Amino acid sequence: MMKFLALAFCFLFGASGTVAFAGPAEEANAVIDQWSATYSANDRDALVGLYAPDAVLLGTTSPVISEGTEGIRKYFQELPGSGRKNLIVERRTLVLSETSVLGIGFYNFARAAENDTPRPSRFTFMLVKRDGRWMIAHHHSSPLSAARQ
């Protein structure tokens, strides 16, 4: 009888169609992963579409703050067909609320024109959930400086 109950218990919970729901950290990190893949695909329009219309970008190689869709589109103007790539190498995630998440870490940029030599950089993404969709509200990227002496 005990074996039957154990088997019935396993069947009920195993076959109940349990669905795992992603939380804010997983959902926001999926957007960061999508950003990296889209950057590596050199798809400027799709990349810009990951940002909120009022997003702010402090780009790795820009002396100015890029604001809003058009400012961010301008920042990435050289991306299409460039062969540039991005690889996230380390990340931390801070869930601030059900609708805001901070992603912090290191990534490497590479350019085909430079034999894909890694250019280590650091990032911060502030993601917000608006109307059921996660999007980048703020992105800061800067070259990784040499270690302190």
Report if pTM > 0.85: no
Quick: pLDDT tens for 64-102: 999 999 999 999 999 999 999 999 999 999 999 999 999
Instruction: Round to whole Å and give the CA distance between 72 and 114.
Output: 24
Of 8 and 56, the one with more pLDDT: 56
Comparison of pLDDT for 14 and 107, the residue scoring more: 107
pLDDT of residue 146: 75
Measured CA distances, 36 to 14, 16, 31 (Å): 36, 36, 9
Task: Assess whether pLDDT exceeds 50 at residue 104.
Answer: yes
Q: How does residue 20 score in pLDDT terms, banded at 50, 70 and 90?
A: low
